[in-house]
């Protein structure tokens, strides 16, 4: 069993979470690092760093070291992990010795990508490292009976990618992953505002728009929001009013990609498990699952019950921490 010193890490494109059996989720910080390009020193990590996005002078850059769920910058990821594990150690109290760590990885990651994650966590100060596939961790965290011979369908919409998996008897039966997630939705909003209004907005503004007036459902009660950005013609600040109908239109293409991935996975499901899916439905996890009307829209499209996991943002982190007890049954999902 997991002892109180050991931790689970959800190393996500948007956020990194740390779970310990003794204290639950002990840390939840944005996966952002701010670095001084001249001295190569880390200026800020996590929450402080995210607040600096788009607001730093030229020699100070904000970097997201993870892209599409995998490591894009090894050295900076290692530094970020060191900071996160140091911070977690103060809260949990394993500063005396190196912790054993369970860390999640995308199901479709290559052996090179898996090795990079393993090495980054080891360099950050871990003793023993166990890798677990993200959809399996999400399913465990959502409380699904993954060790039983029934179909558990999990849709994990993260920052960098969306993973859809059917898990039965401790293994992944069918699986699809696409590089479309919350970051892509933000990018689509930025491009829409630029194209339609000739106004440039930043990542944080786009994320706020998505949370406030972003909808998956076409039919919804219209909401409006005032947004400030830079007019690309005059170069001066400008305020515009956006409608939730416009934002739904801007997000349409990305949402259809997610829908296609879910349909493709359900089509790959063995006939014996199809009946379970009709009865048990689909569970949504990840930050993207919190988009307004996501459950209802997906349920209408795939004609199967869809529901949110109890804690969509924390499901993968909970799963990494609770995975230890499933280890013997997770041969296919754990490396």
| pLDDT tens, position by position, 94-106 | 555 678 888 988 8
Residue 223 shares a structural domain with residue 122? no
- 72: annotated binding-site residue? no
Which structural domain range is residue 235 located in? 182-250
Helix spans in the chain (H):
47-51, 74-92, 111-123, 134-141, 182-197, 203-213, 244-267, 271-280, 294-302, 315-322
Q: Is 26 helix (H, G, I), strand (E, B) or coil?
A: strand
- 133: annotated binding-site residue? no
Given pLDDT bands bounded at 50, 70 and 90, which one contains residue 333? very low
- 208: annotated binding-site residue? yes
Residue 123 shares a structural domain with residue 192? no
- 130: annotated binding-site residue? no
The β-bridge relationship of strands 7-11 and 224-231 is unpaired
What does the pLDDT read at residue 323?
Answer: 80
Total domains present in the chain = 3
- Max intra-chain CA distance, the chain: 63
Q: Find all residues with CB under 8 Å of 288, minimum gap 6, and list them.
A: 157, 158, 159, 162, 181, 182, 185, 258, 294
Residue 280 near residue 306 (C-beta atoms within 8 A): no
Q: What pairs with residue 200 in β-bridges?
A: 230
The Cα 204–Cα 52 span in angstroms is 10
- 207: annotated binding-site residue? yes
Looking at the domain assignment, is residue 80 inside a domain? yes
Residue 300 shares a structural domain with residue 219? no
What does the pLDDT read at residue 324?
Answer: 66
Looking at the domain assignment, is residue 267 inside a domain? yes
- 288: annotated binding-site residue? yes
Last residue of a domain, one of 212, 233, 250: 250
Residue 264 shares a structural domain with residue 231? no
- 78: annotated binding-site residue? no
- pLDDT per residue as tens digits for the range 259-294: 999 999 999 998 888 888 989 999 999 999 999 999
What does the pLDDT read at residue 62?
Answer: 87
What does the pLDDT read at residue 113?
Answer: 87
- 210: annotated binding-site residue? yes
What does the pLDDT read at residue 109?
Answer: 81
Residue 37 shares a structural domain with residue 170? no
Looking at the domain assignment, is residue 26 inside a domain? yes
Residue 165 shares a structural domain with residue 302? yes
- 290: annotated binding-site residue? yes
The Cα 158–Cα 287 span in angstroms is 6
Sign of torsion, CA 189 42 157 224?
Answer: negative
- pLDDT per residue as tens digits for the range 34-48: 999 888 888 899 999
Given pLDDT bands bounded at 50, 70 and 90, which one contains residue 327? low
- 238: annotated binding-site residue? no
Residue 20 shares a structural domain with residue 76? yes
What does the pLDDT read at residue 152?
Answer: 92
- 234: annotated binding-site residue? no
pLDDT at 28 over 80: yes
Looking at the domain assignment, is residue 296 inside a domain? yes
The owner of tokens 């829908």 is 259
Domain of 93, CATH number, reads: 3.30.420.40
Domain of 212, CATH number, reads: 3.90.640.10
Residue 68 shares a structural domain with residue 172? no
Residue 217 shares a structural domain with residue 109? no
Residue 29 shares a structural domain with residue 106? yes
Q: How many CB atoms lie within 10 A of CB 219?
A: 10
pLDDT at 328 over 60: no
Residue 158 shares a structural domain with residue 298? yes
């Amino acid at each position: 069993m997991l002892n109180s010193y050991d931790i689970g890490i959800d190393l996500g494109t948007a956020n990194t979470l740390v779970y310990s059996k003794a204290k639950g989720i002990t840390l939840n910080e944005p996966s952002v690092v701010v670095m001084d390009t001249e001295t190569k020193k880390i200026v800020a990590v996590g929450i402080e760093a995210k607040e600096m996005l788009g607001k730093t002078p030229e020699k100070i850059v904000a970097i997201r070291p993870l892209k599409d769920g995998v490591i894009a910058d090894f050295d900076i990821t290692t530094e970020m992990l060191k900071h996160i594990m140091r911070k977690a150690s103060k809260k949990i109290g394993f500063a005396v010795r190196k912790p054993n760590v369970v860390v999640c990885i995308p199901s479709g990651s290559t052996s090179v990508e898996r090795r990079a994650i393993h090495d980054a966590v080891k360099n950050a100060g871990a003793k023993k490292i166990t890798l677990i596939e993200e959809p399996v961790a999400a399913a465990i965290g959502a409380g699904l009976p993954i060790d039983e011979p029934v179909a558990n369908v999990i849709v994990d919409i993260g920052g960098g990618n969306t993973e859809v998996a059917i898990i039965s008897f401790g293994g992944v039966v069918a699986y699809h992953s696409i590089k479309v997630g919350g970051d892509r939705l933000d990018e689509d909003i930025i491009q829409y505002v630029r194209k339609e209004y000739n106004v440039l907005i930043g990542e944080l503004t786009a994320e706020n728009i998505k949370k406030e007036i972003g909808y998956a459902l076409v039919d919804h009660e219209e909401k409006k929001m005032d947004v400030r950005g830079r007019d690309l013609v005059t170069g001066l600040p400008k305020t515009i009013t956006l409608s939730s109908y416009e934002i739904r239109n801007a997000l349409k293409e990305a949402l259809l990609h997610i829908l296609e991935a879910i349909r493709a996975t359900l089509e790959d499901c063995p006939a014996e498990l199809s009946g379970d899916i009709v009865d048990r439905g689909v569970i949504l996890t990840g930050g993207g699952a919190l988009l307004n009307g996501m459950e209802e829209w997906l349920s209408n499209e795939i004609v199967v019950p869809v529901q949110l996991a109890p804690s969509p943002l924390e499901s993968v982190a909970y799963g990494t921490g609770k995975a230890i007890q499933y280890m013997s049954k997770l041969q296919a999902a754990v490396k």
